[in-house]
């Protein structure tokens, strides 16, 4: 059964770069049916789509975050990663990695358990 | 782009049916049949309940059903049960901008 596991620092200082990695187990990240992405949820608030990446490296981002976001894939490690630069307190959230079905509007079939990242000095 | 619009809360008694609306624009919901719905219990990751407006993923009860008219999508929960108490989020693909937009979420309370 496919599993997604987020990893990375739980505390990031303002103006620095938030970096998270999602390890995929039980399936190949090179499966052509899926995109691999990130979604976040500030405490007590709703979901926000950050972006996704295809195994080929093609990526797509939320226009509101595009200038600060990079999502990359490492097929040799079956992992994909999120970098969010110049973070501020508003970037404090639970970050989920997710498997998007390639067609059908990129609905999320599988979610990681989520990891809380706090931006604070 | 603004989030899709959902009511903050909806409630119903066990056995009743409730409907959650999700309103977007002609650039997202109104432009395709690519609406999905997610259920989230406190402290848990969301779970896919409906995709492509009205399709069920494997393992999801058919008490959950989806529909769409114009720029508004809807999720109906029939035969409401205590376990249905959760937050529900709609989502749509915004093809013209190639990204995904979520609704603000609806808290469902079973009275």
Indicate yes or no: CB of B102 within 8 angstroms of CB of A60: no
Instruction: Please check the confidence at residue B79 and state whether its pLDDT lies above 80.
Output: yes
Contacts of B100 in chain A (CB under 8 A): 49, 62, 100, 105-106
pLDDT digits (tens, 9 = 90+) for A7-44: 999 999 999 999 999 999 999 999 999 999 999 999 99
Share of chain B above pLDDT 90, in %: 91
Gap between the Cα atoms of B17 and A121, Å rounded: 48
Question: Distance (Å) from the C-alpha of residue A67 to the closest C-alpha of chain B?
Answer: 15
Question: Distance (Å) from the C-alpha of residue B91 to the closest C-alpha of chain A?
Answer: 8
User: How many contacts, defined by CB atoms under 8 Å, are there between A and B?
Assistant: 68
Residues 6+ apart with CB under 8 A from A23: A4, A5, A7, A77, A78, A79
pLDDT digits (tens, 9 = 90+) for A65-112: 999 999 999 999 999 999 999 999 999 999 999 999 988 789 999 999
Residue of B nearest to A45 (CA): B104
Question: Distance (Å) from the C-alpha of residue B12 to the closest C-alpha of chain A?
Answer: 22
Tokens encoding A97: 């990695």
């Amino acid at each position: 059964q496919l599993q997604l596991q987020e990893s990375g620092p739980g505390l990031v200082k303002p103006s620095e770069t938030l970096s998270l990695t999602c390890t995929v187990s039980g399936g190949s990240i090179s499966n052509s049916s899926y995109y691999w992405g990130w979604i976040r949820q500030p405490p007590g608030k709703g979901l926000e789509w950050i972006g996704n990446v295809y195994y080929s490296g093609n990526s797509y981002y939320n226009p509101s975050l595009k200038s600060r976001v990079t999502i990359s894939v490492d097929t040799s490690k079956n992992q994909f990663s999120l970098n969010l630069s110049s973070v501020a307190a508003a970037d404090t959230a639970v970050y989920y990695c997710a498997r998007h079905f390639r067609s059908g509007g990129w609905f999320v079939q599988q979610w990681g358990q989520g990891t809380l990242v706090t931006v604070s000095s | 782009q603004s989030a899709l619009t959902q009511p903050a809360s909806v409630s119903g008694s066990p056995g009743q049916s409730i409907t959650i609306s999700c309103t977007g624009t002609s650039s997202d919901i109104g432009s395709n049949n690519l609406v999905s719905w997610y259920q989230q219990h406190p402290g848990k990751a969301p779970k896919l309940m409906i995709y492509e407006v009205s399709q069920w993923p494997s393992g999801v009860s058919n008490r959950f059903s989806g529909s769409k008219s114009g720029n508004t999508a809807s999720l109906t929960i029939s035969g409401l049960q205590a376990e249905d108490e959760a937050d529900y989020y709609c989502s749509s693909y915004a093809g013209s901008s190639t990204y995904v937009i979520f609704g603000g979420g609806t808290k469902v309370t079973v009275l």
